[in-house]
């Protein structure tokens, strides 16, 4: 496994004879890897000749500076988890991806203004901008995204279609703990008591008769609810527990 912290090093590797003509699977992440990321990497490994992982805490998708500062960055542990699956890790500093200071960005004007976008202004501009940059730099055959971030996945698919990018977006099922909570890098910030309570979030999404009923039930159980809405056969929600923001969705 080769770790590239400079884009020039990555570009030399990407154009080397050992990578020529090979299919490349790509898993973009912000680090703090868990079993859900491992599942993405394992699928990429099974379906491609080479696998690339990016670890980049993207500052432009955070509308809360405190959230950015608190985001976990266990790089050594991440590299250990990735090792069995990955040929190269791309882990540059922010300046490498934003030489323009974020003057140029990608904006979507419909889906990105709802749900997460309504509660996190500018979030999806940052997401779509960094995904476009990563796809341009990595030049993968396939890129793998988890279904937990349903809205993000839909927007990335739309980005690829709209901008005619030569990459296949592969959706992978959400990985959950035995109690049903979707795996997330943010879960490690929960206290043991809050972690136990958090399992009620997907359970309520799944069993409530309506989105409005789910909001009421979650608030009664002590969650701060940003939204619960039904879209295209999905129920999507975002809540906070102990100040930690969790998102999830279930199929209706």
pLDDT, one tens digit per residue, over 174-210 is 999 999 999 999 999 999 999 999 999 999 999 999 9
pLDDT of 130 > 90? The answer is: yes
> Whose structure tokens read 């396939």?
142
- How many other CB atoms are found less than 10 A from the CB of residue 248? 25
Q: Are 2-172 and 185-245 in the same CATH fold?
A: no
Longest dimension (CA), the chain: 60
Q: How far apart are CA 213 and CA 204, in angstroms?
A: 9
What is the overall mean pLDDT for the chain?
96
- How many other CB atoms are found less than 10 A from the CB of residue 36? 20
Q: Which residues contact 248 (CB under 8 A, 6 or more apart)?
A: 148, 174, 182, 201, 202, 205, 236, 237
**In the 3-class helix/strand/coil scheme, how is 108-120 assigned residue by residue?**
CCCHHHCCHHHHC
Q: Which residues contact 81 (CB under 8 A, 6 or more apart)?
A: 33, 37, 38
pLDDT digits (tens, 9 = 90+) for 35-69: 999 999 999 999 999 999 999 999 999 988 888 99
Q: Which residues are catalytic?
A: 37
Task: Provide the CATH number for the domain formed by 2-172 in this structure.
Answer: 3.40.50.620
Please check whether the domain covering 185-245 is classified as CATH 3.40.1620. Answer: no
pLDDT digits (tens, 9 = 90+) for 203-232: 999 999 999 999 999 999 999 999 999 998
- How many other CB atoms are found less than 10 A from the CB of residue 192? 7
How sure is the predictor about 249, in pLDDT bands with cuts at 50, 70 and 90? very high
Q: How far apart are CA 94 and CA 73, in angstroms?
A: 14
Q: How far apart are CA 139 and CA 24, in angstroms?
A: 8
Domain ranges of the chain: 2-172, 185-245
pTM as predicted = 0.94
Q: Could you tell me the CA-to-CA distances from 144 to 216, 218, 223 in Å, in that order? A: 35, 31, 31
> Whose structure tokens read 């309506």?
210
3-state class of 227 per DSSP?
strand
């Amino acid at each position: 496994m080769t770790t590239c912290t400079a884009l020039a090093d990555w570009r030399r590797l990407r154009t080397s004879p050992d990578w020529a003509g090979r299919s490349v699977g790509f898993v973009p992440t912000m680090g703090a890897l868990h079993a859900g990321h491992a599942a993405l990497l394992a699928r990429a490994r099974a379906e491609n000749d080479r696998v690339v992982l990016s670890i980049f805490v993207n500052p432009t998708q955070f509308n809360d500076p405190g959230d950015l500062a608190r985001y976990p960055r266990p790089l050594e542990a991440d590299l250990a988890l990735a090792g069995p699956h990955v040929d190269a890790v791309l882990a540059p500093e922010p300046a490498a991806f934003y030489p323009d200071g974020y003057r140029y960005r990608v904006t979507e004007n419909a889906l990105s203004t709802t749900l997460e976008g309504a509660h996190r202004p500018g979030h999806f501009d940052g997401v779509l901008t960094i995904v476009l940059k990563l796809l341009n730099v990595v030049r993968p055959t396939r890129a793998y995204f988890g279904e937990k971030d349903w809205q993000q996945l839909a927007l990335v698919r739309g980005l690829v279609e709209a901008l005619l990018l030569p990459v296949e977006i592969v959706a992978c099922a959400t990985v959950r703990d035995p109690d049903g909570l979707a795996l997330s890098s943010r879960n490690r910030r929960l206290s043991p008591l809050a972690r136990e309570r958090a399992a009620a979030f997907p359970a309520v999404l799944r069993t409530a008769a309506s989105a409005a009923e789910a909001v009421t039930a979650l608030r009664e159980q002590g969650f701060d609810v940003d939204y619960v809405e039904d879209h295209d056969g999905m129920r999507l929600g975002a809540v906070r527990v102990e100040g930690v923001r969790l998102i999830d969705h279930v199929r209706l």
